[in-house]
A and B are shown apart, each in its own frame.
Chain A
Amino acid sequence: MDALDILFTASFWVAAIRIASPLIFATMGELICERAGVLNLGIEGIMTVGAFAGWFTVYSGGDLWTGVAVAALAGAMFGLLHATLTVPLGLSQHVVGIGITLFATSLTYFTYRLALPQVTSPPKIEPFQPFAIPGLSSIPFLGDAVFNQTPLTYLAFLTVALVAWVLYRTPLGLAVRAAGENPSAVEAQGISVNAIRIGAVMVGSALMAVGGAFLTMSAFNSFFFEMINGRGWICIALVVFGSWRPGKALLGAILFAAFDAYQIRLQQLSGGVVPYQLFLMMPYALSILALILVARRASYPKALMVPYQKGER
């Protein structure tokens, strides 16, 4: 098969959309946090928590959607911890974020070892199955690629629409955006900046955790150590690349995932002549490149990483 022909197969786009799904959840989560003025570097650890919590719930007998809910709740709890430290206490979002990632990851691994002390190969669950949307899935090509995915993927796309609608069409969204741009204007309206920010970080973290859960409950069917593998950091790059807009970030995530799916197929085509590590490096290198490309015109939320103290100018 020619390297370019790959792009015109439905199976390629099925993979691309599947790879994009966890990134979409987590990117939306990070976007909400940053729009409210909080950089959440706990993302990598919170995704790990979500991946484990969702999978373990199902493994212990819960059904799949309960697993998703538990993952979201666990993510929100770590979000609450992050927000408590960074919003009212105003601690460095860099240090706290890295701290949350280390804390969440190690707590997950500890719990995993505690719950399954003896296992050598991680047990499997019955994950979400692809669900063909009646009607839409019979559209040629597009139907196969987009409308024959697992329910969690559809939820990812719905999430983007919901986030965009809330951010741009509701008073709540206005308050969130203002908290990240001009917090004293929010306070002047009688709304608490801290409450908005804490809420945004909790909701955002819940989405990150669902992104993690997608990996163990939809893309794969068990939990491995280090399975997030930098996806969280990539999502932070995607938020910048998408200039903090849900639609653009979605596009970025799909482009990125398409590239990732493409490098996997190129790797198979190259027949081992080129070291496989070079292909695996590409997603990370691409993220850095994307950051450089948009850096000049990136308009960060003005109050990003600026703690807010009532009555202070």
Chain B
Amino acid sequence: MRLEPKPAPSLVMLLLYPVGAIVFTLVFASLLVLLAGASPFSVFFLVAKGAAGSQFALFETLTRATPLIFTGLAVAVAFRAKLWNIGAEAQLYIGAVVTVVLGTGALPLPSILLIPLIVIAAMTAGALLLLGPALLKTRFGVDEVVTTLLLNFIVLLFVSMLLEGVLKDPMGLGWPQSQKLIAEARLPRIVTGRRLHCGFGMALVSAVIVWVIMKKTTLGYEMRAAGNNAEGARFVGIPVNRVLMKTALLSGGLAALAGFSEVSGLKGNLTLDLSPGYGYSGIVVAMLAMLNPLGVVVSAIFVAGIFVGADAMSRSTGVPSYIADVMVATALLSMVVAILLARFRVRWR
């Protein structure tokens, strides 16, 4: 079996294969639904209805998409430069910790100063957290996949320690949770009475900024060059290691924003269940978007819709809501195959 590059895949073909991946995912999920003794059509209808069937559902989906846009961007940026940041989960939590430390009354400032200050501090913390593994990679050749993965566990334990120690809310009835943010540190809601908050707007703006960085700046060019062919990039004088450092700072900062926006926009305080794996789902979001920053917005809303819709569906049909996780993982695997098939022809002999 051999793979031969297709001469010039047309845009239609390039888009057709991802659609095929989604169809495959739906077919596979249908089998699981049948196994669960329900009808796929009614289940998918309920998922779609739960995700976008009403104004309430739509707002919920966009709310859930917000952290996924941030972690998706973080992964897209890093993977483009072949920096395998699997630690968005940890960077998210560090961003949340900084938000809580600065936002619970330590700084008596008006919103207009306090929020930008927290954003900068949170991004810095997330950036520095990824800088460690990036340095270990370039200086010692330690694989960043393993270090970022292991850091996820360390940071989660660290957060647990803080929530049972210095950050514990004395009024929390013994629960490991932080104090509530002061009003000045909260991001306002976009529509009163709905949970959708300005973090979603920030996520959209971030996606545009990241798109500009990736497509229109020297740094973006260097990142793509380092990712496509590190040797070649070095040969033409691109400081690959320094580019990787910048990539790490950008990626870690973006992931930390997910933590900031969840605490400041949605939850109001920090608990250990702040993120149900948004860092890992960000990988799927980024891959579904083929690492395109603007595509990340679309795929984050899609993935969020599956999660929100499946929750609603599960309540009424009894099909386990883990079907959403299975679908998202299946979509990831079938997507990478689809991208390959769009570019290469498989010859069986």
Residues on the B chain within 8 Å of A295, using CB: 136, 140-142
Contact between chains at A291 and B142 (CB < 8 Å)? yes
Q: Does residue B119 face the partner (Cβ distance < 8 Å to A)?
A: no
Chain A at the B interface: mostly helix, strand, loop or mixed?
Answer: helix
Contact of A233 among B146, B160, B164, B333 (CB under 8 A): B146
CB distance from A235 to the nearest CB of B (A): 10
Contact between chains at A89 and B3 (CB < 8 Å)? yes
CB distance from B82 to the nearest CB of A (A): 9
Interface code B60-98, partner A: CB below 8 Å = 1, 0 otherwise?
A: 000000000000000000010000101000000000000
Residues on the B chain within 8 Å of A110, using CB: 32, 320, 322-323, 325-326
Residues on the A chain within 8 Å of B157, using CB: 277-278, 280-281, 284
Report how far A282 CA is from B55 CA in the complex, Å.
47
Name the segment of A61-69, A92-100, A129-137 touching the other chain: A92-100
Q: Given the interface contacts A275-B164, A292-B136, A295-B141, does A102 sit within 8 Å of B284 by beta carbon? A: yes
CB distance from A39 to the nearest CB of B (A): 8
Contact between chains at B337 and A89 (CB < 8 Å)? yes
Q: Does residue B2 face the partner (Cβ distance < 8 Å to A)?
A: yes
Interface code A31-71, partner B: CB below 8 Å = 1, 0 otherwise?
A: 00000000001000000000000000000000000000000
Report how far A99 CA is from B83 CA in the complex, Å.
17
Task: Count A-B pairs with CB separation below 8 Å.
Answer: 133
Q: Does residue B117 face the partner (Cβ distance < 8 Å to A)?
A: no
CB distance from B228 to the nearest CB of A (A): 13
Name the segment of B147-155, B201-209, B241-249 touching the other chain: B147-155
Q: Does residue B329 face the partner (Cβ distance < 8 Å to A)?
A: yes
Contact between chains at A275 and B161 (CB < 8 Å)? yes
Contact between chains at B325 and A94 (CB < 8 Å)? no
Contact of B140 among A85, A103, A114, A296 (CB under 8 A): A296
Query: In the complex, what residue of chain B is closest to A102 when comparing beta carbons?
Result: B329
CB distance from A271 to the nearest CB of B (A): 16
Q: Does residue B35 face the partner (Cβ distance < 8 Å to A)?
A: yes
Contact between chains at A230 and B284 (CB < 8 Å)? no
Residues on the B chain within 8 Å of A85, using CB: 333, 336-337
Q: Given the interface contacts A103-B333, A284-B154, A296-B140, does A89 sit within 8 Å of B340 by beta carbon? A: yes
Report how far A100 CA is from B283 CA in the complex, Å.
12
CB distance from A16 to the nearest CB of B (A): 21
Q: Given the interface contacts A278-B161, A291-B146, does A102 sit within 8 Å of B154 by beta carbon? A: no
Residues on the B chain within 8 Å of A281, using CB: 153-154, 157-158
Q: Given the interface contacts A114-B35, A277-B158, does A287 sit within 8 Å of B141 by beta carbon? A: no
CB within 8 Å of B: which A270-288 residues: 275, 277-278, 280-281, 284-285, 287-288
Contact between chains at B322 and A106 (CB < 8 Å)? yes
Contact between chains at A90 and B3 (CB < 8 Å)? yes
Q: Given the interface contacts A90-B3, A96-B333, A284-B150, does A113 sit within 8 Å of B322 by beta carbon? A: yes
Contact of A100 among B3, B35, B333 (CB under 8 A): B333
Q: Does residue B46 face the partner (Cβ distance < 8 Å to A)?
A: no
CB within 8 Å of A: which B321-349 residues: 322-323, 325-326, 328-330, 332-333, 336-337, 340
CB within 8 Å of A: which B195-218 residues: none
Q: Does residue B165 face the partner (Cβ distance < 8 Å to A)?
A: yes
Residues on the B chain within 8 Å of A284, using CB: 150-151, 153-154, 157
Q: Does residue B287 face the partner (Cβ distance < 8 Å to A)?
A: yes
Q: Given the interface contacts A107-B326, A110-B323, A230-B150, does A102 sit within 8 Å of B142 by beta carbon? A: no
Query: In the complex, what residue of chain A is closest to B152 when comparing beta carbons?
Result: A230
Q: Does residue B236 face the partner (Cβ distance < 8 Å to A)?
A: no
Report how far A102 CA is from B146 CA in the complex, Å.
16
Report how far A284 CA is from B340 CA in the complex, Å.
35
CB distance from B109 to the nearest CB of A (A): 31
Contact between chains at B323 and A96 (CB < 8 Å)? no
**14 new A-B contacts at CB < 8 Å, known A277-B160, A287-B150, A310-B2:** A91-B340, A95-B79, A96-B336, A102-B329, A106-B328, A109-B325, A110-B32, A275-B165, A277-B164, A284-B150, A285-B150, A295-B141, A296-B140, A309-B2
- Listed by A's residue number, 9 A-B pairs whose Cβ atoms lie within 8 Å are A85-B333, A89-B3, A98-B283, A99-B329, A106-B329, A230-B153, A233-B150, A275-B165, A284-B157
6 smallest CB-CB distances across A and B, nearest first, come from: A106-B325, A113-B320, A103-B329, A277-B161, A102-B329, A110-B322
Q: Which residues of chain B have a CB within 8 Å of any CB of chain A?
A: 1-3, 32, 35-36, 79, 84, 86, 136, 140-143, 145-147, 149-154, 157-158, 160-161, 164-165, 280, 283-284, 287, 318, 320, 322-323, 325-326, 328-330, 332-333, 336-337, 340
